[in-house]
DNA sequence: CTTGTATGCGAGCAAACACTCGCGTCAGGC
DNA sequence: GCCTGACGCGAGTGTTTGCTCGCATACAAG
């Protein structure tokens, strides 16, 4: 179920925002198990009944929190992407700064990222993450097509898919697992991974 | 909680196996939501009470199903790895056949793989997947150290980590999302990814 | 056969929790 | 200032589900 009715007055618009904030807070601070409607309502400082005036069910709140999170990540990566993609050939330093943006975006809210990726049924994230991936793949494909000299891979779609899948997991797992490796060196290695693949 | 007591008689050992089988069946066929103790017991053809003679709680059954699954995957990959690692330098065709083994292992039980990775809280898989990753990383590190001519990466540990993370996700997502790409061509690309990275 | 133990049963308990409903309160247009 | 609908309340309901417990049955040792 989705949003039940839209808030008309000022007061209720604040209520809706407080519910969403409370949802994010509970998720990030106490985990998915604690994410009960009663608790979210309590943290939001409202009653459980009020919650159901605007949200059809528990999942509706969860969905909004998830959507907002991935939208923020997408926004930051897209910003860096658009900055670099205008001029001419990107070059390895450009790749690096885009990767840097991705890493930074994932570092913004580690607690929430952890809960979203480790405690939630992934099916909840699936749609949004696919959208994010698709968005980046599209940019990649148009870039690689426009500048064939920057890649030796024959199938552009396939190359973009492989790169996104590979890079995504390196970034994600570095953010979540915090292995002992230095951030800058990991970035360097990913740049090599990408460059080596495209120009092999 | 763990295993509550071990089965002494033949009869009860069969019961335990039937419970585990039922657990796997319910998970793969009906998903995690349907994975209730009562239903598992029903599918196993026993009563809920009997189930708790051997398993401390619901999670104990789940854990065993997960462990067995990842152990099987690890076994198949390790087998291919050990076959290839004995002789001398592996070479790109050797890399390819190891990757092939990984893909095949993930293709064995797609339904269960999907439920484990998409519906379960990932924290349940975490330990086992880390163990699997660590195992492969160790093999990689010893190989790369023993044959420095096969890689130009300065930090062997870091290189192994990056490769495992990158390759893992490509394999996993290809198995789960079934994008339109031909299996062999994906394998080829991953070989290029690995080779290009190590020899860049 | 007897007896102690391992195994199995299944109705039912207790807790958690998503969600409702009837009623009181307040905002804001006229 | 009034009046109507939007807003908010919170105790309560219905259901689900993990798990127990007292008892029956099957097994194996002596």
Both A110 and A160 in one domain: the answer is yes
Indicate the DSSP class of residue B117.
I
pLDDT the model gives residue B87: 64
Judged by CB atoms closer than 8 Å, whether chains meet at B185 and A32 is answered as no
CB-closest option in A123, A179, A185 to B119: A123
Domain shared by B34 and B122, yes or no: no
> Helix %, strand %, coil % for chain B, to 5?
80, 0, 20
Beta-carbon contacts of A3 under 8 Å, excluding residues fewer than 6 positions away, are A54, A55, A56, A60
Question: Based on the domain organization, do A96 and A162 belong to the same domain?
Answer: yes
- B3 in any annotated domain: no
Q: Is residue A5 part of a domain?
A: no
**B11–chain A nearest CA distance, Å:** 36
Q: What is the pLDDT of residue A87?
A: 63
Residue A111 lies in a domain: yes
Cβ-based contacts under 8 A for chains A and B: 102
| Chain B residue set in contact with A, beta carbons under 8 Å | 32, 117-123, 126, 153, 155, 157-159, 161-162, 165-170, 173-174, 179, 181, 185-186, 189-190, 192-193, 195-200
Q: How many domains does chain A have?
A: 2
Residues of chain B with pLDDT under 50: none
Residue A72 lies in a domain: yes
A73 and A126, same domain (yes or no): yes
Both A49 and A80 in a single domain?
no
Domain extent for B106: 65-198
Domain membership of residue A81 (yes or no) is: yes
- Per residue in A146-188, pLDDT (tens digit) is 999 999 999 999 999 999 999 999 999 999 999 999 999 999 9
Read off the pLDDT of residues A39-53 as tens digits, 9 standing for 90 and up: 999 999 999 999 999
Both A77 and A35 in one domain: the answer is no
B5 domain residue, yes or no: no
Contact B69, B116 (CB under 8 A): yes
Residue A14 has pLDDT above 90, yes or no: yes
Residue B28 lies in a domain: yes
The confidence score (pLDDT) of residue A60 equals 97
The distance of A12 to chain B (nearest Cα, Å) reads 34
Taking contacts as CB-CB distances below 8 angstroms, the residues of chain B near A118 are: 121-123, 126
A52 and A106 inside one domain: no
Helix, strand, or coil (residue B57): coil
Evaluate whether residue A4 is within a structural domain. Answer: no
**What CATH code is carried by the domain that includes residue B25?**
1.10.10.60
């Amino acid at each position: 179920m989705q949003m039940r009715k839209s808030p008309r007055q000022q007061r209720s618009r604040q209520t809706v925002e407080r519910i969403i904030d409370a949802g994010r807070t509970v998720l990030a601070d106490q985990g998915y198990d604690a994410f009960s409607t009663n608790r979210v309502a309590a943290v939001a400082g409202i009653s459980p009944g009020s919650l159901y005036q605007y949200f059809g069910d528990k999942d509706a709140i969860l969905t909004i929190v998830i959507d907002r999170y991935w939208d923020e990540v997408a926004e930051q990566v897209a910003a860096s992407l658009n900055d670099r993609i205008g001029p001419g050939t990107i070059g390895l330093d450009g790749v690096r700064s885009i990767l840097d943006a991705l890493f930074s975006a994932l570092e913004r809210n580690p607690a929430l990222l952890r809960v979203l990726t480790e405690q939630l049924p992934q099916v909840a994230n699936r749609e949004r993450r696919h959208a994010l991936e698709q968005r980046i793949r599209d940019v990649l494909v148009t870039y690689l097509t426009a500048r064939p000299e920057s890649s030796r891979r024959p199938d552009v779609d396939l190359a973009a898919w492989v790169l996104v899948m590979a890079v995504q997991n390196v970034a994600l797992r570095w953010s979540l697992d915090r292995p002992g490796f230095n951030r800058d060196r990991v970035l360097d290695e990913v740049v090599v991974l990408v460059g080596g693949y495209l120009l092999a």
